[in-house]
Amino acid sequence: MKHENTLAYAQQQDAQDPMAGYREQFHHPVIDGKQVLYFTGNSLGLQPKSAREYVNKELDEWAKLGVEGHFIAENPWVSYHELLTPASARLVGAKESEVVCMGSLTNNLHLLFVSFYKPTAKRFKIISEAKMFPSDRYLLETQARHHGFNPDEAIIEIAPRDGEYLIHEDDIIAAIEEHSDELALVFFGGMNYFTGQLFDMEKLTKTAHQHGALAGFDLAHAAGNVPLEMHKWNVDFAAWCTYKYINSSAGNVAGLFVHERHGDDTSINRFGGWWGHNKERRFLMENTFDPMKGAEGWQLSNAPVMGMAILRASLDIFDEAGIHNLRAKSLKLTSYLEFIFNDVVQQFPDIKLEIITPSNPEQRGAQLSIKLIGTDKSFFDQLTKAGVISDFRSPDVIRLAPAPLYNSFEDVYQFGNTLHSLLSQWR
């Protein structure tokens, strides 16, 4: 597609966009009296306007029914999490039995590691990407220590080659093959938070299995961003948050996936909680843990209904829009952002700004990471002051996320105008 850096072109694209109407289903922040350009859905998604209605309904049920809301509310709270399962399963490409919404992201990953990181004296190593999200790195470090291993020996980090920003998947495959006899687990962020690089999870899973290891993924930046096929790709386990692209509010309930070949095996070791216990006997208060089949068997506690109500509001929007339709728009919108950025920056050859996200659309989602070469965070601060809400990651990267549910082509065009104005003053 041949893009144009004009308002008329951007407005024409919006007029032709079948997803354009979803923009009006979200609140758009107004800061210092001005509606901002919001490009940080990879950090916190915008609020669906329907969220208030969904939460108020449960607040009204609480007010009317008190504790009986667990059983006689229109959507009984004891099973409220089940309302989220079908849409969540569709979003990550799973069977409904393989998915459950619960807990928080890192908490869920630790619970999954109890079951799927079972190191031995010989097989104890974990292969992961360098510069992974810090919480994931802390997870790996503390899991290794918990099992009595030195993290520096147990964790093998695959980094970009010298002078590059992206990881070669051939290097990951080579590391799996090299450490085949010692490897317990391959664990990656499905999409790297820093560069926005989308990994071939199917290929990594297949290779891990060929060498006797399991494969798991943190889908924080992939779920709700790109189409996923967790079941088809034969992934062993995965987890994701819901407050980024899935727009469920800050720190809200997360989700996890366990492939049915594991979920149907109730003998797999796990940490137990009463919400993972046989639901037909849950309230008999028995002493012996009898885990449910499927991903629900990893639950610990009862559902946080108010937070889940917000998540339900957002998942209903995703279900209506369709992740494949959103991906189609995302490819166009991210491509336009890339074009606008390059068109503006080339006018200022003495200023070094560079996109480090893959240029191949199939290897990225709705994110472009911009490296501020020879500058510092002050440029990001100026961008924010000018009304562009993006995200800064130390030491020198700005992340821009054109979310297809609520960002428009005109947003991208106006970002280009703001960028041009700032670079003109930056000289």
Confidence of residue 373 (pLDDT cuts 50, 70, 90): confident
Query: 308 and 55 in contact (C-beta within 8 Å)?
Result: no
Digit-coded pLDDT (tens) for 32-46: 999 999 999 999 999
H helices of 217-265, where?
260-263
Q: Are strands 368-373 and 37-38 parallel, antiparallel or unpaired?
A: unpaired
Give pLDDT, residue 376: 74
Q: What is the mean pLDDT of residues 274-292?
A: 95
Is a pLDDT exceeding 90 seen at residue 374? no
With a pLDDT cut of 90, the percent of the chain lying above it is 96
Q: What is the mean pLDDT of residues 269-298?
A: 96
Pairwise CA distance, residues 206 & 218, whole Å: 17
Which residues neighbour 56 within 8 Å (Cβ) at sequence distance 6 or greater?
A: none
Strand locations in 190-327, DSSP E? 214-218, 237-240, 254-258
Query: 180 and 158 in contact (C-beta within 8 Å)?
Result: no
Query: 246 and 316 in contact (C-beta within 8 Å)?
Result: no
Pairwise CA distance, residues 110 & 218, whole Å: 11
Helix (H, G, I), strand (E, B) or coil at 341: helix
Pairwise CA distance, residues 166 & 159, whole Å: 8
Pairwise CA distance, residues 304 & 327, whole Å: 30
CA distances from 219 to 38, 95, 234, 244, 256 (A): 22, 17, 15, 11, 9
Sequence-separated contacts (24+) of 271-276 with Cβ below 8 Å: 271/111, 271/114, 271/300, 272/300, 273/299, 273/300, 273/301, 274/300, 274/301, 274/302, 275/102, 275/299, 275/300, 275/301, 275/302, 275/303, 276/300
Give pLDDT, residue 427: 62
Structure tokens, 353: 């700004």
The pLDDT mean for the chain works out to 96
Give pLDDT, residue 418: 97
Q: What is the mean pLDDT of residues 65-72?
A: 97
Phi and psi based region of residue 198 (left: phi greater than 0; alpha: psi -120 to 50; beta: remaining): beta
Pairwise CA distance, residues 395 & 194, whole Å: 11
Taking alpha carbons only, the member of 400, 55, 21 closest to residue 248 is: 55
Pairwise CA distance, residues 183 & 22, whole Å: 45
Digit-coded pLDDT (tens) for 335-360: 999 999 999 999 998 888 999 999 99
Pairwise CA distance, residues 63 & 93, whole Å: 37
With a pLDDT cut of 70, the percent of the chain lying above it is 99
Digit-coded pLDDT (tens) for 128-180: 999 999 999 999 999 999 999 999 999 999 999 999 999 999 999 999 999 99
Tell if the pTM clears 0.75, that is, is over it: yes
Structural domains of the chain ordered from first start: 7-47+322-426 (3.90.1150.10), 53-320 (3.40.640.10)
Give pLDDT, residue 217: 98
Is a pLDDT exceeding 90 seen at residue 7? yes
Helix 323-345 to helix 409-426 angle (10° resolution) is: 20
Pairwise CA distance, residues 398 & 423, whole Å: 15
Is a pLDDT exceeding 70 seen at residue 18? yes
Q: What is the CA radius of gyration of the chain?
A: 23
Helix (H, G, I), strand (E, B) or coil at 200: coil
Give pLDDT, residue 342: 97
Is a pLDDT exceeding 90 seen at residue 193? yes
Tell me the backbone φ, ψ of residue 116, rounded to 5 degrees: -115, -10
